[in-house]
Amino acid sequence: MSAPAPSPLALAHVDPARVPARQDEVLTDAALAFLAELHHRFTPRRDELLARRAERRAEIARTSTLDFLPETAHIRADDSWRVAEAPAALTDRRVEITGPTDRKMTINALNSGAKVWLADFEDASAPTWENVITGQLNLTDAYERRIDFTDPRSGKSYALKDAAELATVVMRPRGWHLDERHLTVDGKPVPGALVDFGLYFFRNAQRLLDLGKGPYFYLPKTESHLEARLWNDVFVFAQDYVGIPRGTVRATVLIETITAAYEMEEILYELRDHASGLNAGRWDYLFSIVKNFRDGGAKFVLPDRNAVTMTAPFMRAYTELLVRTCHKRGAHAIGGMAAFIPNRRDPEANEKALAKVANDKDREAGDGFDGSWVAHPDLVPIARASFDAVLGDRPNQKERLREDVDVKAAALIAIDSLEAKPTYQGLVDAVQVGIRYIEAWLRGLGAVAIFGLMEDAATAEISRSQIWQWVDAGVVFEEDGHAGEKVTAELVRSVAATALADIRAEAGEEAFAAGRWQQAHDLLLQVALDADYADFLTLPAYAVLEG
């Protein structure tokens, strides 16, 4: 007898009054059949790998350490293998801009002058059904050059430049941990990663090849080479399914978890036919350190997040190991984010902030990175100037092997090498940013301007995780005015109450009532103070996200 046909996908929890326009263009029978195949083949392995994450975290809690894997030492010792050669569209990646896939951002990012646009369905996008569907439509509309936008407030119109001037799209799906409740099989939600990847790939793979590019992806929140292996198997199946050559897909992996930092070579090895690079993601990386070593005692307590710069010894170890690993294996090394939002109303502060961005990009280019991220189009020329000065006419500097780099396992978690200490103002900032970001996320916004920076979910994660860690470790402030004051749950609640009152006064009663401020306040306290630490704040937040 033949095997029974797999169960089909069902559309669930979609309010008939809020069905996104043109949804049927995305959810065709053929596209849904492809998603169903992805789900049946790969979700069980996804579930096993999520369980493995929990096991590994328990081991870290027991030992308070990490090391390079002995069972994969032969991969690291084998100097013969390299990743596949980069396609022409990804050879020069000196400046990459990041942002969500709303219509205005799609146009502005493609027009920005950056070499690459990270089109984000993950941390810079709250996964409302509207955002999931319209993001897919906006990308396809851009490839077909039938996209424009008129700002309803200013009346300004936006349209695409000539094709040769447009950035290459590298799309970022959601991480393995997030489900998509609107698409289910036998009542079980399909992983958001497979939904985002599957719809984009199925709709655009051949279209992109016809345009001289291809389906390129950023892979977020990867925690092990086994998770990279799963992605590689997804890519092989997807390419065979639609009939395009294996190796057409290219993936850049974000090394934004502490466990992945110990498996960089193995991750590239698993994806070697599809890999194009690694990226150093600062805030998620710090979040991962706190999450995994949150109960490891004083030696793992991070100070205020703004005091942890990329020049901190353990961050230098991480970035230098990343450059060394990538270039050893023929992959691109992509640097971190410049999140500053230019402020033309304060020229002096603006000039200082832009100089800081330039210094940061100069450092990355000098260290051997092949490109870097910015969050705003005005930062593109600054980052480009830093990399132009080092690269000249070369598309990258992968020939710089950085053989001088020799990072020991302990250096990656030497948090106590920092001299900075937690401060009361750092606590206030963490609470303020956490509430403000979560409130916007609950309204469907994933990229949010807060205090002059473009923030995404990683910012809220590091903020709430540091609060949790400081309370758990019993941090005592040392600075004048708060010396001897201990971080307790009661202190955090007091700071949060003051922050909420300040926001109410700032916004006004009508705007405050129209927002989701109280819910954001309560959710921050939940994920920052509950003894049962939530692996990702977006998990409980998704449960109350409307749409």
**Residues belonging to the active site:** 172, 456
Report phi then psi at 436, rounded to 5.
-65, -40
Token output for 513? 């009532």
CA distance 218 to 175: 10
CA distance 100 to 447: 7
- Integer angstrom CA distances of residue 432 from 161, 420, 520: 39, 21, 11
CA distance 68 to 395: 32
CA distance 184 to 191: 9
In sequence order, which residues have a C-beta less than 8 Å from that of residue 208 and are 6 or more positions away? 143, 214, 215
In sequence order, which residues have a C-beta less than 8 Å from that of residue 507 and are 6 or more positions away? 515, 517
CA distance 531 to 534: 9
CA distance 122 to 446: 8
CA distance 18 to 547: 7
**Do 23 and 133 meet the contact criterion of CB atoms below 8 Å apart?**
yes
Pairing relation of β-strands 95-100 and 371-374? parallel
